[in-house]
Structure 1
Amino acid sequence: MINSNDFISLSRLALEGRDADIRLFLAKLVRKLRKAEPAIGGQLEELLKINPARSSSVLRKDTGQHDQSAIFDPAEKSEFPLIKTFEEIRSEEEPILENPIKQQFEQIIVERKSLTLLQKNGLQPTSSMILQGPPGVGKTMSAKWLASKLDLPLYILDLTAVMSSYLGKTGSNLRSVIEFAKSHPCVLLLDEIDAIAKRRSDDSDVGELKRLVTVMLQELENWPSTGILIAATNHPELVDPALWRRFDIEINFHTPSINQVRNAVIHFLGKDEAHFKQWIELIVAGLSGTSYSNIKRTILKLRKLRILNPSELEQNILKHILPNIDELSRDEKINLAVGSVVNQGMSQLKAAKLFGVSRDTIRKRINSVERGE
């Protein structure tokens, strides 16, 4: 049961109005009681679940503007530095995902909504996952969307920021954040997990980092079925293999294929698609090999430029879509040149100059297409 020191600590936290730290203290107490007094521990855990955390000076809501106001002030007495919270994200935009990835997320949603049924049959829903892939392919957006679909608060801890600012305290801070997330239904995203969860055989690392892997391994055990832990990394080769095995599932994100780029371009063009119709294939070719975030930024910029300066739409498209034309293969340049002549009415001379292929090559390819060859 609770001893005198625990009672004094709890009283002090209550009198100081530190709600988040009270929840953390109670979550730790639940873990103690699970073995000693399971009935009382269960009742206390249920109270934490039915009374979700409230926003306070400790947990500052993210307003969508990723500035300092969305980050925990290290001067606060809270044990949760540099964590962002999104309490209500019910209308989060659905990310553009490959079918296999989308099916995995949909399976997770179905499991969470069938929690009681699964538990009646001795099964637990997915409660932890690790997302890997290059920057800008939708890992963080997918976490937000999942939390939105499950109507759960989302907490994001940027581990790179924690490591750079709090080396020496990272272990206790990480454990505190995890304990807080375990205390009530939520989605916790540990971004840049490779910042702390490096291979323990890496002799170049300081002891603090090696201990953090052990912390993660311990805390991943028996993650509560009411919440979801998501880890994200751009560098999977740095992550300790033992940690990979602790996550329920692994989801691999990739740079979008040419068809996915085309779908993304059309998606982000939205109601302006008709204004760009003759340029879509050129835009797709120019954005091939880039991330969804870059596609979105570029398309939104072009949509604004069309409104602000419609007479220079063609020049702006070429300026923003083909800054790295030299990286395209010769066949890709020929296809773009032919498409520009056939679909956009560009002169062969201009297309030849723009794409760096001869007029004769363009003419022969057009004739070949017209003959059905």
Structure 2
Amino acid sequence: MQPNETLEIARLALEGKPSDVRLYIAKLVRKARRTDPDYASKLEALLKSETSRSNGVLRKGRHPEQEIPEKLELALLRRYHGAPVAAPLLDSAVSDQLQQILMERRHASQLALKGLSPASALIFQGPPGVGKTMTAGWLAQQLDLPLYVLDLTAVMSSLLGKTGSNLRSVLDYAKSHPCVLFLDEIDAIAKKRSDDSDVGELKRLVNVLLQEIENWPDQGLLVAATNHPELVDPALWRRFDLDVTFSLPNDENIKKAVIEFLGDDRVEFTNYLDLLADSLRGESYSNIKRAIYKLRKMKLINPEGFENFGIQQLIPNIDTLSRQERITLAVKLVSQHAFPKQRAAKLLGVSRDTIRKKLGENE
């Protein structure tokens, strides 16, 4: 370490700036990796140790034995207990990434022999309703770890000047024991530092996250999620071990989701499975679930009403369909779902003769 580097660390420590001290040390670690890997590893180990994170010199007025205040923990962190989480419906690429995470955990000791460690910080990106939160819960269940969700809105609402320290306190608490910490909508506080619309207080939060994520303990797992990856600070993005991209369900997974959400009522909807899958193409899992539950309740409470009006909710917006698509759908309703020709013709704006002709061609 150069004399000027030592002086800089001493200055930041004596000024009571723990986050800046740790950021500076992390910078030295990255620099040393190129010239002295052994020294870099030792320095990085100090950063990850409990001692360095709770040292009284760096934390004014805070003793090592003082954990996060109970009222702050309750305000900012939610711990989830509940029924077992079913395996989320995901495409094969995402499933493979999740299995890789679990395999690394199961073979952590073998990895350690080679100086490697399992992934400890992940970021989930994708549109709303595609299973990011559910997957975090499922991972916690598979790892047999408690799941904490950090209320970023509460962090943002902290007293001005306290947000950074409150965030660090909560992150330190999550680091103090093995757990899965889920940071939903991380873009709310981790925007690009070049974004002039954010005040300095929010930009300091990015610095806190940069340090904490890079040194997340191997025994735990930090999972961040965003619907707007373009807003997240690139420097923060690079700190994550794995980027998992969630997409809207494909046709195969839509049908699986429909069947799963129908539950015990699947038999009642057997003739409508293909129509349901067609009508829900392009929707998220949460929207599919909402639509299916609505139809199940309608059919249970008012069977006659379902026959008259419920089926109309399964038909895509007719205005967006071409004439040929309307004809194809009308024929499907009649041939596969016992729809009267007159009703199918009226719903889709095609003539009964056209439907009759197409049915004759298909026979």
Which range, TM-score by smaller chain? 0.7 to 0.9
Cα distance, 1:331 vs structure 2: 4.2
* Higher deviation after alignment, 107-116 or 159-168: 159-168
Structure 1 CA distance for aligned equivalents of residues 286 and 104 of structure 2 = 29
User: How far 1:273 sits from its partner (Å)?
Assistant: 1.3
Q: 1:127 aligns with which of 120, 123, 128?
A: 120
**Residue type matched to 1:31 in 2?**
T
* Native 8 Å contact 2:251 2:281 kept in 1: yes
Q: Hey, what's the Cα distance between the residues in 1 that align with 2:197 and 2:242? A: 29
- Which among 37, 47, 51 is matched to residue 31 of structure 1? 51
Bigger mean CA deviation after superposition, 110-119 or 217-226: 110-119
**C-alpha distance 317-80 of structure 1, shift in aligned 2 (>3 A):** same
What is the rounded CA distance, in whole Å, between the counterparts of 1:210 and 1:33 in structure 2?
21
- 1:364, distance to aligned residue in structure 2 (A): 4.0
SS at match of 1:91: coil
Change over 3 Å in CA distance of 1:111–1:328 after alignment to 2: farther
Q: How does 1:204-243 map to 2 (within 5 A)?
A: 204-243=197-236
Paired residue for 1:193?
186
Letter in 1 for 2:79: T
2:103 to 100, 110, 114: 110
Partner of 1:346: 339
Contact 2:48 2:217 in 1 (8 A): no
State the alpha-carbon separation in 1 of the partners of residues 342 and 54 from structure 2: 78
* SS of residue matched to 2:291: helix
Identity of aligned residues (%): 55
List per-residue Cα deviations over 1:177-200 (Å, max 9, x = no partner): 111111100000011000011011
What displacement does 1:31 show?
Answer: 3.1
TM-score, structure 2 normalization: 0.77
Distance 2:84 2:329 in 1: 38
1:235 to partner: Cα distance = 0.6
Cα deviation for residue 208 of structure 1 reads 1.4
Alignment of 1:96 with 2:89, yes or no, is yes
SS at match of 1:285: helix
Report what 2:5 is aligned to: none
CA distance in structure 2 between the partners assigned to 1:101 and 1:294 by the alignment: 20
Deviations 1:71-120 (A, max 9, x none): xxxxx3x256332112x457112211111111111111121122222222
297-306 or 133-142, which deviates more: 297-306
CA drift of 1:367 comes to 3.5
Task: Provide the C-alpha distance between the structure 2 equivalents of 1:103 and 1:169, rounded to a whole number of angstroms.
Answer: 40
SS at match of 1:230: strand
Match of 1:176 among 143, 154, 169: 169
CA positional deviation for 1:282: 1.6
d(CA) in 2 for partners of 1:185, 1:110: 17
Equivalent pair of 1:90/1:151 in contact (CA under 8 Å): no
Whole-Å Cα distance in 1 between the matches of residues 182 and 53 of structure 2?
Answer: 27
Kept in 2: contact 1:80–1:177 (CA 8 A): no
Q: Deviations over 1:133-176 (max 9, x none)?
A: 11111000000011011110001113245325655432122111
CA contact (8 A) 2:214 2:240 kept: no
Match of 1:366 among 352, 359, 363: 359
Structure 1 pair 147/332, CA: closer, same or farther in 2 (3 Å)? Answer: farther
Partner secondary structure for residue 85 of structure 1: strand
Assess, with a 3 A threshold, how the Cα gap between structure 1 residues 212 and 353 changes in structure 2: closer, same or farther.
same
* Amino acid of the structure 1 residue aligned with 2:226: T
Q: What SS does the aligned partner of 1:188 have? A: strand
Residues of 1 paired with 2:53 and 2:240: CA distance? 26
The answer to whether the 8 Å contact 2:298/2:310 transfers is no
Distance in structure 1 (CA, Å) of the matches to 2:324 and 2:92: 29
- Pairwise CA RMSD of aligned residues? 2.9
Name 2:299's counterpart in structure 1. 306
Matched, 1:255 2:248: yes
1:95 touches 1:142 (CA, 8 Å); kept in 2? Answer: yes
Give the aligned partner of residue 79 of structure 2.
85
Counterparts of 1:33 and 1:242 in 2: how far apart (Å)? Answer: 22
Counterpart Cα distance in 2 of 1:359 and 1:106: 52
Amino acid corresponding to residue 340 of structure 1 in structure 2: L
Offset of residue 33 of structure 1: 8.2
Choose from 265, 270, 286 the match for 2:258: 265
Counterpart CA distance in 2 for 1:166 and 1:33 is 23
> Structure 2: which amino acid aligns with 1:140?
T
1: CA distance, partners of 2:131 / 2:206: 25
Partner of residue 149, structure 1: 142
Runs of at least 5 residues in structure 2 that lack an aligned partner in the other structure = 1-46, 56-63
How many residues were matched structurally?
A: 309
Distance 2:333 2:160 in 1: 55
Looking at structure 2, the residues matched to 161 and 335 of structure 1 have their Cα atoms a distance apart, in angstroms, of: 52
The one-letter code of the counterpart of 1:342 is S
